[in-house]
Chains A and B, each alone.
Chain A
Amino acid sequence: MIDTSSLKREAFGVKESIMSENSLAIRKFSDLANPTRFLGLAARVLPWLAGLTAVLFAIGLFLSFTTDGDYQQGETVRIMYVHVPAAWLSMMCYTVMAMSALGTLVWRHPLADVSARAAAPIGACFTFLALVTGSLWGKPMWGTWWVWDARLTSVFVLFLMYLGLIALNRAMDDPGKAAKVSAVLILVGFVNIPIIKFSVEWWNTLHQPASVLRLGGAAIDPEFLAPLLVMAAAFTLLFFTLHIAAMRNEIWRRRVTSMRRQAARAAGREV
């Protein structure tokens, strides 16, 4: 006969150990998210990230200018090595902001708003780069600087959203209220990311469909893929380097504000 009580005890023990492992992982994550710990981690990580970014850019730029031109696009294929990574990062940055917005609204994470606020200007710059370099590629290849097709328009909307979020953050005095309003807006605006990604499949666009991140593997020649992937890695590391540095600046900015308030209150009590 099976001893059900011992089985129950064993199951309870397993459940308890899983729960304790989970709570340990949450505690470790929370520890890392402590602003003071984050500053310590940023100081250690930033020099390495910056160095690695510079090395990757050196390799990526070398490959970008030493590989042959395309038989159809000619030299303009080199614009892709800047345009495509910038476009990827414009979307990745917004995804990071959307995750941060969730952190602000759901978990009220101390660093979540800092992360979203720090990422917005960086995302705006990458989106600007994607639009400008795309336009510079479009003129010789399509014969036009701009068309209002679904891909170009949705990326332009993303750029406007970044600018709107930066303006909103700067316009509101109460940081707590600004964090909540921004987080809601970021999450509402996230609907634009799948629209950007799938616009070339859902609608008839002048912009070509995906040629790297697609089912069935990359559709471009390995000679062009190598510089593209190295430049994408360099741009990604550049984003994380700048994002961590900008988050550190934002933490310092908040500390300065709170210390000034504290000093003003102390001065008020003395009078």
Chain B
Amino acid sequence: MITHTAYVAASYGIAAVTVAVLILWVWADGRARRRELRALDGAGIRRRSAQAGEAP
């Protein structure tokens, strides 16, 4: 028979894993986008608004 403590532990465990996965996904997504933007910037590709800002 499953004890009540096991149900509590399962609830908190699943909540912790779900929240951790969500945080990691958002963090990893942000890191990947930053890397892409840096790579584009390194290749000399800039947004039109940034180019307009640089123009004399």
Contact = CB atoms under 8 A, between A and B. Distances in A.
A252 B34 contact: yes
A49 interface: no
Interface string A211-238: 0000000000000000000000000001
Contact of B47 (A133, A238, A259): A259
B52 interface: no
A40 to B, nearest CB: 14
A246 B26 contact: yes
A259 B43 CA distance: 11
B55 interface: no
Interface in B1-56: 2, 4-5, 7-8, 10-12, 14-15, 18-19, 21-23, 25-27, 29-30, 33-34, 36-37, 40, 43, 45-49
Contact of A136 (B11, B26, B29, B47): B11
A132 B40 contact: no
Given A82-B15, A125-B19, A136-B7, 10 more contacts: A76-B4, A83-B11, A129-B14, A133-B14, A136-B11, A242-B22, A252-B33, A255-B47, A258-B47, A263-B40
A33 to B, nearest CB: 16
Q: Is the interface of B mostly helix, strand, loop or mixed?
A: helix
15 contacts: A36-B49, A75-B5, A86-B15, A132-B14, A133-B15, A139-B7, A140-B7, A242-B22, A246-B26, A248-B30, A252-B33, A255-B37, A259-B40, A260-B40, A263-B45
Interface residues of A, number: 35
A76 B14 contact: no
Interface string A248-271: 110011011011101100000000
Interface of A: 36, 74-76, 78-79, 82-83, 86, 121-122, 125, 128-129, 132-133, 136-137, 139-140, 238, 242, 245-246, 248-249, 252-253, 255-256, 258-260, 262-263
Contacts of A260: 40, 45
B26 A137 contact: no
B8 A76 contact: yes
A74 B48 CA distance: 62
Nearest to A82: B15
A137 B40 contact: no
A256 B19 contact: no
Nearest to B39: A256
A256 B37 contact: yes
A74 B4 contact: yes
Nearest to B25: A121
Nearest to B29: A249
A40 B46 CA distance: 18
Given A128-B18, A262-B48, A136 B10 contact: yes
Those 5 A-B pairs whose CB atoms lie nearest each other, nearest first:
A252-B33, A75-B4, A79-B11, A133-B11, A263-B45
